[in-house]
């Protein structure tokens, strides 16, 4: 449950959350992360090169996102995020969504009352930006982008603990690898 993070929240905590299948989901199957992966697999099975299959799957996922409505994965998530912030934790969204979904993603998050965490927008790395507290990593490694944010962004100087939530194991493993040997409790 998303609420399981609350005991770990304090003024030295950065709560880093994925969006798709962690905070939000489409109200129907079409446009879900699983659907996008299935479409990519269909292209692969048809003999389409890996990079083209991924690009086509991402493009179809993005096209559906422009129209679909979303709901919370867990009804209490937005409240949990507000409670985490009330305990002093900083919150950042970290999503593999493509940069061209930035505005649509922010609209979707607003529709489910996702608490805004930062009004700033800035370039993070080639192919990665942050807007309104959501970091769009695109094809970058989430762990490496998070490591860079912790190193370069002044608002994270007091962070001693990172709580990372993602529905995909490889993203959690990437964060573990990137922050291994760092001064952060992860």
Measure the CA–CA gap between 15 and 7, rounded to whole angstroms.
12
Taking the C-alpha atoms of residue 184 and residue 111, their distance in angstroms, rounded to an integer, is 33
Task: Let me know: does 91 contact 85? Beta carbons within 8 Å.
Answer: yes
Going by C-alpha positions, the residue among 133, 150, 152, 153 that lies closest to residue 184 is 150
Q: What is the pLDDT, as a whole number, of residue 44?
A: 87
Across 28-53, average pLDDT: 87
CA distance 52 to 54: 5
Average pLDDT over residues 29-42: 86
Position 184 scores a pLDDT of 97
- Assigned token pair, 152: 């370069």
Q: How confident is the model at residue 51 (pLDDT cuts 50, 70, 90)?
A: confident
CA distance 155 to 89: 12
Structure tokens at 100: 């061209």
Q: What is the pLDDT of residues 68-93, one digit of tens each?
A: 999 999 999 989 999 999 999 999 99
Structure tokens at 8: 């770990």
Q: What is the pTM of this model?
A: 0.91
Q: Inform me whether the pLDDT recorded for 41 exceeds 90.
A: no
**Cα pseudo-dihedral 120, 104, 144, 184, rounded to 10:** 60
Taking only the tens place, the pLDDT of each residue in 169-182 is 999 999 999 999 99
Confidence of residue 109 (pLDDT cuts 50, 70, 90): very high
């Amino acid at each position: 449950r998303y609420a399981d993070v609350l005991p770990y929240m304090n003024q030295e905590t950065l709560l880093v959350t994925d969006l798709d299948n962690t905070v939000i989901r489409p109200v129907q199957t079409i446009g879900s992360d699983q659907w996008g992966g299935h479409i990519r697999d269909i292209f692969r099975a048809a003999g389409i090169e890996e990079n083209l299959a991924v690009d086509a799957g991402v493009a179809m996922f993005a096209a559906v996102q422009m129209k679909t409505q979303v709901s919370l994965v867990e009804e209490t998530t937005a409240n949990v995020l507000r409670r985490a912030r009330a305990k002093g934790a900083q919150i950042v969204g970290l999503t593999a969504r493509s940069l061209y979904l930035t505005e649509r993603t922010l609209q979707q998050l607003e529709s489910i009352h996702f608490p805004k965490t930062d009004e700033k927008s800035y370039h993070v790395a080639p192919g990665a930006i942050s807007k309104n507290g959501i970091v769009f990593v695109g094809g970058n490694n989430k762990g490496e982008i998070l490591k860079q944010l912790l190193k370069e962004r002044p608002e994270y100087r007091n962070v001693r603990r990172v709580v990372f939530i993602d529905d995909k194991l490889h993203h959690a493993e990437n964060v573990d690898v990137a922050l291994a040997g760092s001064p952060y409790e992860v």
